[in-house]
């Protein structure tokens, strides 16, 4: 089964948002049973915590429910579990590249690659304002669609 792990730094803002946007889209397409989805952070500072209130609040405005998510840190075993490991920014991407086993045969990519914006980042909204969270969701929506299109084509689902 195709499996996707979204990764940011703290796993309380961008990657929980990416998980919610992608899950919503997958379920809308009746593929909830066919794709495994999770998110994690390269840092473990917020492990066990729910997503940032601002990520939840803005998410609700777009119809996403993040309240059941809990932060966790990326582990080595994630590279066994997930075919797609998707980083929100270059720093997370570089850290994941260092961490990945040499024989990892999945796809390590940046989220906005799937929106035709190769190398561009989903900027960290943590020290910003509510408008930065809106910006995050607006970047994530087309990228989630591009990622699902890619997976559907690759896996013929």
Catalytic residues: 8, 14, 124
CB 58 within 8 Å of CB 137:
yes
Q: Kindly state whether residue 14 participates in binding ligand 4NP, applying the rule CB under 6 A.
A: yes
CB of 26 to ligand 4NP, least distance (A): 21
Q: Name which position in 124, 133, 140, 143 contacts ligand 4NP (CB under 6 A).
A: 124
Quote the longest CA-to-CA distance of the chain. 41
Kindly write out the interface string for residues 44-73 of this chain, putting x where it contacts ligand 4NP by CB under 6 A and - elsewhere.
Answer: -x----------------------------
Q: Kindly state whether residue 7 participates in binding ligand 4NP, applying the rule CB under 6 A.
A: no
Whose Cβ is closer to ligand 4NP: residue 7's or residue 35's?
7
Q: Kindly state whether residue 9 participates in binding ligand 4NP, applying the rule CB under 6 A.
A: yes
Q: Name which position in 5, 8, 35, 40 contacts ligand 4NP (CB under 6 A).
A: 8
Long-range contacts of 106-112 (CB under 8 A, 24+ apart): 106/79, 106/82, 107/83, 109/84, 109/85, 110/86, 111/6, 111/18, 111/86, 111/87, 111/139, 111/140, 111/143, 111/147, 112/139, 112/143
Helices (H), the chain: 14-28, 53-61, 78-81, 90-99, 130-155
Q: Kindly state whether residue 13 participates in binding ligand 4NP, applying the rule CB under 6 A.
A: yes
Q: Name which position in 10, 26, 58, 140 contacts ligand 4NP (CB under 6 A).
A: 10
CB of 75 to ligand 4NP, least distance (A): 17
**Residue 36: its H or E element:** strand 36-41
Residues that bind ligand 4NP (CB under 6 A): 8-14, 41, 45, 124, 126
């Amino acid at each position: 089964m195709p499996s996707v792990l979204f990764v940011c730094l703290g796993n309380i803002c961008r990657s929980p948002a990416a998980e919610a946007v992608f899950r919503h889209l997958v379920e809308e397409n009746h593929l909830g049973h066919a794709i495994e989805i999770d998110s994690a952070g390269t840092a473990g500072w917020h492990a066990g915590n729910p997503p940032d209130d601002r990520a939840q609040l803005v998410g609700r405005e777009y119809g996403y429910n993040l309240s059941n998510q809990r932060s966790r840190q990326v582990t080595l075993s994630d590279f066994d579990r997930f075919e797609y490991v998707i980083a929100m920014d270059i720093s997370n991407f570089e850290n994941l590249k260092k961490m990945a086993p040499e024989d990892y045969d999945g796809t390590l990519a940046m989220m906005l690659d799937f929106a035709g914006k190769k190398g561009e980042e989903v900027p960290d909204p943590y020290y910003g304002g509510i408008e930065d969270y809106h910006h995050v969701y607006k970047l994530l929506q087309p990228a989630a669609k591009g990622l699902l299109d890619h997976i559907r084509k690759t896996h013929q689902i």
